[in-house]
């Protein structure tokens, strides 16, 4: 009785009977078999992502449980929204997220590489090589590959006046996205936004000062960069002026209403006199609040909370334009941009705490006359907002994700201006270098290093496959040319320009992004190779 377990028992009358329980359901895979099942799960996830790689990569449509759809080819977004049950597949989701958090771009490539490495390690396990020896060989090969990346990297020179190289890098990042129709425009917006907030001396980019906002309507070509802050609000009263010049902003987080007791309270008004006194008290309080704001010299109020119609009317009568219900993150951004202080109580309001901006105006667009507020010529000129337009919500969301990747690619170049060439050129060079290094190693790890070299070819193979080229022939041709010509800039011609030199095609990848992909994928594969059993807590065998 294979996989069955017999148990002897007696019933309440003492009669014996035998219980046969099938154990097969409980059987866990151990050792190499477990590692292979993990590799299969990871390969399945990597194969889903593969087709999204490169400028000719295809998009995925993701449907949430409540029916919302997302169309994207951003690796981190696809994996983040996929319903993944297997534990190892969840590790791949975290892998793409860590690439996204650290670098911001290259989330698809890192998963494809990890999947290829695991596929190669499966063949090595079949040959009887111990998982830890494979992992050691991969670590060694990763070191060689990173050294090769350093060797073939080029420095990209740029300045605030000469941004062409940065634009080319942003265009490489955007090439695979839905916005590639407005390729150049989006790349220039990303570069302008980063340079506006970058500190080139410290090689630092303050991401908090870049806000990406979007509204459905218009086309992608209507996307603009606003040198200031855009708030999805309008002035609280329709008769307030739609533009305030030389604005001095009082930024309040207290409501425009009379103070109320904190405890549960009940007010009985039994006579006209009492009602009149209450009304006079409230009006006096409103007048006092408006006087305090006016006395500081403020000519615009930004309020985190609402205020009732009476306060709104008084503000309008006193020529004090106001904006209400401005959210926490937005109010912080306004404070940073205008160099004002957020004031929690009217008593604390002083002239020094006011923010300053050259012009605050309402903009209207569309037949619905949608209104938004633009704060421009701020005291802190570094705050910028990218305002994305698109035909539907799906396109606006994907354009925002594409801009995030492009901004991150430019940010990486500001902090380290070394690049390697894209189109799989760097991967092929690293693969050749690892193969050469493997020939000089006497130990069994040379097998793992050769496998690593084969896995590096997965990126150029996927690129050529997604571009409709014959993958193996294309890779073989480019690889042999790289070896014979000693030219590490040759890659896969995805765009069909008839030229394999990626420097001529201006296909750049930041060095930090590529190196991080290799390191993260190798770390993950090492972790997977070390797991030979999965024990679910609470389901111990009886």
Catalytic residue ranges: 74, 107-108, 405
Q: In a 3-state reduction of DSSP, which class is residue 60?
A: strand
Pair 209, 197: CB distance under 8 Å: yes
Question: Taking Cα atoms as reference points, which of 157, 190, 158, 155 lies closest to residue 172?
Answer: 190
Annotate 388-405 with b (16+ C-beta within 10 A) or e (fewer): bbbeeebbbbbbbbbbbb
Listed in sequence order, the DSSP H helices in 28-160 are 31-50, 75-81, 87-102, 107-126, 131-152
Question: For the chain, how big is the Rg over CA atoms in Å?
Answer: 31
Q: How far apart are CA 248 and CA 351, in angstroms?
A: 9
Instruction: Supply the DSSP string of 286-314, one letter for each residue.
Output: HHHHHHHHHHTT--EEEESS---HHHHHH
Pair 462, 108: CB distance under 8 Å: no
Question: Taking Cα atoms as reference points, which of 41, 84, 47 lies closest to residue 62?
Answer: 84
Pair 72, 78: CB distance under 8 Å: yes
Q: How far apart are CA 234 and CA 406, in angstroms?
A: 31
């Amino acid at each position: 009785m294979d996989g069955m377990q017999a148990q002897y028992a007696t019933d309440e009358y003492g009669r014996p009977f035998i219980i046969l329980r099938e154990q097969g359901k409980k059987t866990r895979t151990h050792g190499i078999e477990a590692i292979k099942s993990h590799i299969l799960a990871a390969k399945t996830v990597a194969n889903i992502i593969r087709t999204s790689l490169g400028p000719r990569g295809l998009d995925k449509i993701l449907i949430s449980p409540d029916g919302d759809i997302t169309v994207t080819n951003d690796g981190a977004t696809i994996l983040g929204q996929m319903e993944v049950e297997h534990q190892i597949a969840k590790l791949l989701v975290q892998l793409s997220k860590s690439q996204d958090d650290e670098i911001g771009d290259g989330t698809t490539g890192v998963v494809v590489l990890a999947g290829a490495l695991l596929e190669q390690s499966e063949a090595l396990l079949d040959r009887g090589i111990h998982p830890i020896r494979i992992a050691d060989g991969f670590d060694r090969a990763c070191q060689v590959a990173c050294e090769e990346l350093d060797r073939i990297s080029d420095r990209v020179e740029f300045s605030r006046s000469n941004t062409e190289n940065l634009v080319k890098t942003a265009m490489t990042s955007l090439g695979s996205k839905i916005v590639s129709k407005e390729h150049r425009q989006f790349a220039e917006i990303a570069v302008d936004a980063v340079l506006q907030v970058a500190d080139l001396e410290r090689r630092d980019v303050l991401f908090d000062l870049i806000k990406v906002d979007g509204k459905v309507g218009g086309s992608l070509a209507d996307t603009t960069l606003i040198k200031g802050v855009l708030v999805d609000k309008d002035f609280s009263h329709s008769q307030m002026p739609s533009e305030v010049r030389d604005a001095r902003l009082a930024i309040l987080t207290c409501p425009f209403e009379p103070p109320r007791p904190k405890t549960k309270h009940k007010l009985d008004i039994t006579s006209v006199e009492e009602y009149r006194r209450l009304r006079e008290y409230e009006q006096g309080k409103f007048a006092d609040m408006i006087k305090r704001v006016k006395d500081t010299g403020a000519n615009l109020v930004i309020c985190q909370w609402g205020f009732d119609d009476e306060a709104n009317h008084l503000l309008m009568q006193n020529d004090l334009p106001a904006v209400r219900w401005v959210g926490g993150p937005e109010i912080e951004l306004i404070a940073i941009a205008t160099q004002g202080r957020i004031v929690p109580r009217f008593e604390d309001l002083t002239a020094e705490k006011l923010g300053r901006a050259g012009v605050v105006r309402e903009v209207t667009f569309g037949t619905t006359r949608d209104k938004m507020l633009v704060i421009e010529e701020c005291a802190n000129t570094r705050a910028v907002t990218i305002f994305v337009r698109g035909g539907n919500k799906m396109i606006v969301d994907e354009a925002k994700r594409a801009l995030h990747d492009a901004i991150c690619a430019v940010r990486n170049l500001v902090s380290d201006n070394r690049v390697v060439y894209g189109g799989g050129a760097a991967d092929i060079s690293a693969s050749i270098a690892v193969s050469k290094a493997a020939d000089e190693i006497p130990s069994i790890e040379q097998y793992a290093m050769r496998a690593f070299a084969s896995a590096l070819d997965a990126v150029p193979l996927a690129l050529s496959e997604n571009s409709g080229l014959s993958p193996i022939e294309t890779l073989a041709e480019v690889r042999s040319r790289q070896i014979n010509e000693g030219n590490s800039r040759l890659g896969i011609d995805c765009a069909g320009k008839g030229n394999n030199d990626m420097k001529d095609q201006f296909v750049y990848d930041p060095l930090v992004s590529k190196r991080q992909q290799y390191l993260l994928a190798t770390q993950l594969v090492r972790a997977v190779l070390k797991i030979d059993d999965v024990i679910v807590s609470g389901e111990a065998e009886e």
